[in-house]
């Protein structure tokens, strides 16, 4: 008769002595440790604990409690998570938070600091450009970036600018009208020397 095999130790339940030692300075374990960073968000420095693989969307929503930026697809196909990074629209679900260090990040909450609404926000409300409202922050951020660079866009330019944003409730007509009305109001309010 063969003697029973010795009982094997469950490798998941125990740690060897080297695992308990601190990681070497250049090991992958050190690279994955969270860091405390300062991000410039909506005109103010904000401190957050960020892991190297955290996307900007998660840091904004979970660390900084800026929940206006929405999680839609996590694939960069819907535009719900758009924020401005140095004035350009970026999909925060695809951008690592660490990439944003040193940049100015503007979320929907920071479009118009203080009381009142940005003209794009106001016209989205007035024209019915938002139905359920889930995609609205991404559309507004994208429209704001368009109007900041092109204060007199035609309909084709508006359609092109918002082509990365998806709305499942509307036919986009009211969204386009809201952007056109905001552009017209801003042009009318601009001093003569600022008009293009």
Residue-wise pLDDT tens for the chain (196 aa)? Answer: 565 555 544 444 444 444 455 556 665 655 679 999 999 999 999 999 999 999 999 999 999 999 999 999 999 999 999 999 999 999 999 999 999 999 999 999 999 867 789 999 999 999 999 889 999 999 999 999 999 999 999 999 999 999 999 999 888 999 999 999 999 999 999 887 664 4
Segments of the chain assigned E as strands: 35-41, 44-50, 82-85, 88-91, 104-106
Domain boundary among 110, 129, 158: 110
- CA dist 133 and 36 (Å) reads 33
pLDDT at position 15, please? 42
In order of 91, 109, 121, 189, the CA distances from 137 in angstroms are 12, 9, 9, 24
* Cβ-based neighbours of 25, under 8 Å, separated by 6 or more: none
In a domain, 19, yes or no: no
Tell me: do 135 and 96 sit in the same domain.
no
pLDDT at position 146, please? 98
User: Which CATH number does the domain housing residue 139 bear?
Assistant: 1.10.150.120
* Cβ-based neighbours of 101, under 8 Å, separated by 6 or more: 37, 38, 39
In a domain, 85, yes or no: yes
In a domain, 17, yes or no: no
In order of 27, 79, 81, 91, the CA distances from 76 in angstroms are 31, 7, 8, 6
* Cβ-based neighbours of 99, under 8 Å, separated by 6 or more: 56
- Alpha carbon 14 to its chain centroid, in Å, reads 41
- CA dist 150 and 132 (Å) reads 28
Based on the structure, what is the number of domains in the chain? 2
User: Which CATH number does the domain housing residue 95 bear?
Assistant: 3.10.20.30
pLDDT at position 170, please? 82
pLDDT at position 5, please? 54
For 96, the token pair is: 């690592």
In order of 7, 170, 174, the CA distances from 131 in angstroms are 63, 7, 10
Tell me: do 64 and 125 sit in the same domain.
no
Domain boundary among 110, 130, 157: 110
Tell me: do 139 and 172 sit in the same domain.
yes
In a domain, 166, yes or no: yes
In a domain, 27, yes or no: no
pLDDT at position 27, please? 59
Domain boundary among 82, 110, 138: 110
CA angle 79, 81, 87 (to 5 degrees): 90
Where in the sequence is the domain holding 166, given as residue range(s)? 119-189
């Amino acid at each position: 008769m063969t003697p029973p095999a010795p009982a094997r130790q469950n490798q998941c339940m125990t740690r060897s002595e080297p695992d308990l030692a601190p990681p070497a300075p250049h090991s992958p374990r050190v690279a994955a440790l969270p860091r405390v960073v300062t991000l410039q968000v909506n005109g103010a420095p904000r401190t957050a604990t960020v892991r190297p693989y955290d996307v900007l969307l998660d840091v904004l929503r979970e660390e900084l409690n800026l929940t206006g930026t929405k999680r839609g697809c996590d694939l960069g196909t819907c535009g719900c998570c758009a924020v401005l990074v140095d004035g350009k629209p970026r999909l925060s679900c695809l951008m690592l938070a660490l990439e944003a260090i040193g940049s100015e990040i503007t979320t929907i909450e920071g479009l118009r600091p203080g009381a009142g609404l940005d003209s794009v926000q106001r016209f989205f409300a007035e024209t019915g450009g938002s139905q359920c409202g889930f995609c609205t922050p991404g559309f507004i951020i994208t429209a704001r970036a368009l109007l900041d660079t092109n204060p007199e866009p035609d309909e084709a330019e508006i359609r092109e600018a918002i082509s990365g944003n998806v709305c499942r409730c509307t036919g986009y007509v009211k969204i386009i009208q809201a952007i056109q009305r905001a552009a017209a109001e801003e042009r009318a309010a601009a001093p003569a020397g600022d008009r293009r």
